[in-house]
Structure 1
């Protein structure tokens, strides 16, 4: 019997490996529009941000136009999103244990359909809260609280799994325990997770 009725998942860097498909097109966009060459590893800190926020932080002027261009480059990138190893088994087993699964991500709905629904795991997901579903985004707790509200579950009965400081801060502000997806995390300073998870299947050990 698990202590949690629900597990909520971030997508990028947690369920889906989308690093290269996002960062290489971003490098291209920065070079084209800002005339700058930024090292790949120096861009990894922006994985924690929503797309629009990333472009704001980098100093793009016409955010909407640049974001549309970035999305186009991402969709054209030959390496698409891939599931981190073990998630098919994890979602299936959690479903068998009657643990409710949900998605809380800063992805747009269009990108969610391309990157996640096409993997066929959405049949295990009882709710998804995406970029357009709340006005405030992580590290604010609103997206997580919205998911708990939709599912009619107390936040204290939910575990949120993510890979960034923003995921951690959002979970704590929402009154949820936090599992750190070490397989996708690049920066862990300041994160005092309830569970440090080395691989997706470690989720099945939580009782």
Structure 2
């Protein structure tokens, strides 16, 4: 096993618990449109799939593309204005990041979230200056599960894929890490639906709490 010197995280559902703010934005949109709000438990497993999936969850009966586009745009406006109200680091994540830094290792983020949301969120949560790289969904031509954003993260963090470990809570995260030649970890604490079979994702490890990753390093 190659020596790990860089730890890379997916953002939503892995590094930061953004579900409360993303769910709140959807429920505000539903109320604006005259619909009943959804329970947090119903929304949470869909958060990692982004705004399009959340709008589809909230308005499953809609088929008109222009209406869907309007709702998605409005959803993003609401979310941008309430980006980091209730979002926090997952339990154990502060300890993990401090361990990584204490060991003089590097860490960063690779997410499909667009940069105009990722960057201010990382700033507001207080991590932007500490990350060796922040790769968003629009940082490269291809998004996860394509390995291109993973390679860019390596370049910016001055590392190599075989020296990186990538943690995520979606199948595309694990696929992206595998495609790039990285070791991979499933964040079981993230936004994983009970219908998903994570043992089929092909990850090297899985953890129930963020600080369990310390033992893998």
TM-score tier by shorter-chain length is 0.7 to 0.9
Report whether the alignment pairs 1:206 with 2:210: no
TM-score under structure 2 length normalisation: 0.79
Name the residue aligned to 2:5.
Answer: 5
In 2, Cα distance between the equivalents of 1:34 and 1:191?
A: 39
Of 141, 157, 160, 1:151 maps to 157
Report whether the alignment pairs 1:165 with 2:175: no
Instruction: Provide structure 1 residue ranges, at least 5 long, that are not aligned to the other structure.
Output: none
1:1-207 correspondence runs (5 A):
3-29=3-29, 41-52=41-52, 55=55, 59=63, 61-62=65-66, 65-74=70-79, 75-76=81-82, 79-187=85-193, 188-189=196-197, 190-207=200-217
Two-structure CA RMSD over aligned residues (Å): 2.8
In 2, Cα distance between the equivalents of 1:98 and 1:78?
A: 29
Secondary structure at the aligned position of 2:185 is classed as: strand
Instruction: Provide structure 2 residue ranges, at least 5 long, that are not aligned to the other structure.
Output: none
Could you list the per-position Cα deviations for residues 174-199 of structure 1 after superposition, in whole angstroms to 9, with x for gaps in the alignment? 11111111111423513232121111
TM-score under structure 1 length normalisation: 0.83
1:167 to partner: Cα distance: 0.8
Contact 1:9 1:160 in 2 (8 A): yes
Q: 60-69 or 175-184: which moved more?
A: 60-69
